[in-house]
A and B are shown apart, each in its own frame.
Chain A
Amino acid sequence: GQQLNQSPQSMFIQEGEDVSMNCTSSSIFNTWLWYKQDPGEGPVLLIALYKAGELTSNGRLTAQFGTTRKDSFLNISASIPSDVGIYFCAGIIQGAQKLVFGQGTRLTINP
């Protein structure tokens, strides 16, 4: 079945640093989604990407839909303590009913 490889699995950074994470797949996706999950809460949708090559920002977050349609990237600039959490990527093929999720990137920030 389809799988998403999300990396890195965890990141330990200093406050103020930039963060980069990515998801890759052997399958082509039509939509990429990025979520953030805080402890004890449901994931929250951060950014949705619909076109190959698309670059979309949400505040300090920027995500890109890879040109091959098999990958996506999320960058966080100038990290702050509230960025701590688990970030998930997800992809879906047009017409499908189910998202395919990556395993998540756990972000820890040292003040």
Chain B
Amino acid sequence: SQTIHQWPATLVQPVGSPLSLECTVEGTSNPNLYWYRQAAGRGLQLLFYSIGIDQISSEVPQNLSASRPQDRQFILSSKKLLLSDSGFYLCALRTGSYEQYFGPGTRLTVT
């Protein structure tokens, strides 16, 4: 069965600093991959999704970017963090069916 790893689990970064969050998956090939952000007590906001290597679709214009350098690796980045970037970042995958599975998440606090 597939497994999703997210690194790091928690992160505290100052405003204006860069960001790199990593998501790696195991047990599947050529999955769709997704980045979501969840503000405290709120719903899930889709940020980016990818249907293949170097194929990224952006859902929300912002200072974040995503890359997929390998089939099973999805990276979320920022050159300069804003306070509003704080939140819980979730990576998810989808295989052949429409079922989507989430990773454990990364808690980002921008100070």
Contacts and interface: CB of A to CB of B under 8 A. Distances in A.
A106 to B, nearest CB: 8
A60 B88 CA distance: 29
Interface string B1-43: 0001000000000000000000000000000101000000111
B87 interface: no
Contacts of A99: 46, 98, 100
A36 to B, nearest CB: 11
Contact-residue bracket for chain A: 20 to 34
A103 B43 contact: yes
Interface residues of B, number: 25
Interface class of chain B by DSSP: strand
A101 B36 CA distance: 11
A66 interface: no
A67 to B, nearest CB: 19
Nearest to B46: A98
Interface of A: 30-31, 33, 35, 40-45, 48, 88, 90, 92, 97-99, 101-104, 106
